Chains A and B, each alone.
Chain A
Amino acid sequence: MKSRIFVTLKDGVLDPQGRAIHHAIEGLGFSGINDVRAGRLIELDHDESVTKADVEAMCRTLLANMVIENFEIEQS
């Protein structure tokens, strides 16, 4: 079983990496991009016995920093 965890910066938290990526995209000649936010994808391959609540606990205690980040979990 797999859990895909998307860790993203909270709204209102400035994202210097996203801004640099934005500049790089424009430097390559692409236009029309209004904003870039960079995040992180973490994939867990795990036993069926690991519940979504377990994965949420992992996110809260380690995988995301709740001061600056949000997370979403997709399981398949």
Chain B
Amino acid sequence: MRAAVIQFPGSNCDRDMAVAIRQITGAQTDVIWHRDSALPPRLDLIAIPGGFSYGDYLRSGAMAARSPIMQAVIAAAARGVPVLGVCNGFQILTEAGLLPGALMRNGGIRFVCRTVSLMVENSQSIFTSGYDQGEKISIPVAHHDGNYFADAATLDQIEGKGRVAFRYNEPVNGSARNIAGVLNDAGNVLGMMPHPERMIESIHGGSDGRRLFEGLIRQIA
């Protein structure tokens, strides 16, 4: 198995993401600089990590979404390569048009940094098969712009197709319908604000994030 973690100026979860993928899946994992225009061949997973790419200038994720490597990521996603975007990675995927909606400033204005309770809304996707349907899990969030917005018709459409992967069990950031993670129509792209890579062993306070990667490896190995 082979994976790539995309690194932008201002990414700060790139190493954690690479460590999580390597430790849990055993994948050869390359960290790819955003100025590169090509990805390694035969990738099984692309991860867009958290952080503050380009200092969140213009809009969170807006500049990163237009960097050279993203054309290759968009092409790989169209071929069905699994793409996981966490936090700033979720913002980048919406800005790149790979996922619907937008992530706006948190409803309460404040940066939110704590472990939150999530509901697994769809355990059938390649990213969520390590969980049970309707299971409650604990994963940390750390973001200023996690307030998911889409118009009502888009929200109805993604809910109707089971594309809400995770939902907050509590108000966290003002997200529409408490949405925490969204899949694309084909199911091979997931964006989520919580950080599974920060909850992979007991010393982190829990290992609920580990099961996302364990489920993923079973689906794509």
Cross-chain contact A68 with B102 (CB below 8 angstroms): yes
Interface residues of B in 148-192 (CB under 8 A from A): 149-150, 174
Cross-chain contact B107 with A14 (CB below 8 angstroms): yes
Query: Residues of A with Cβ closer than 8 Å to B?
Result: 13-14, 16-17, 19-20, 61-63, 65, 67-68
Interface size class on chain B is: 10 to 19
Cross-chain contact A62 with B62 (CB below 8 angstroms): yes
Chain A proximity of B102: nearest CB distance (Å): 4
Residue among A13, A14, A16 with max Cβ neighbours from chain B (10 Å): A16
Residue among A13, A63, A68 with max Cβ neighbours from chain B (10 Å): A68
Cross-chain contact B62 with A16 (CB below 8 angstroms): no
Contact partner of A17 among B59, B100, B105, B174, CB < 8 A?
B105
* Count of A-B contacts judged by CB separation below 8 Å: 36
Query: Is B101 part of the contact surface with A, judged by Cβ < 8 Å?
Result: yes
Query: Is B197 part of the contact surface with A, judged by Cβ < 8 Å?
Result: no
Chain A proximity of B138: nearest CB distance (Å): 26
Chain B proximity of A43: nearest CB distance (Å): 14
Complex Cα spacing A17 to B110, Å:
10
Chain A neighbourhood of B94, CB < 8 A: 67
Chain B neighbourhood of A13, CB < 8 A: 104, 149
Query: Is B109 part of the contact surface with A, judged by Cβ < 8 Å?
Result: yes
Chain A neighbourhood of B58, CB < 8 A: 62-63
Cross-chain contact B149 with A68 (CB below 8 angstroms): yes
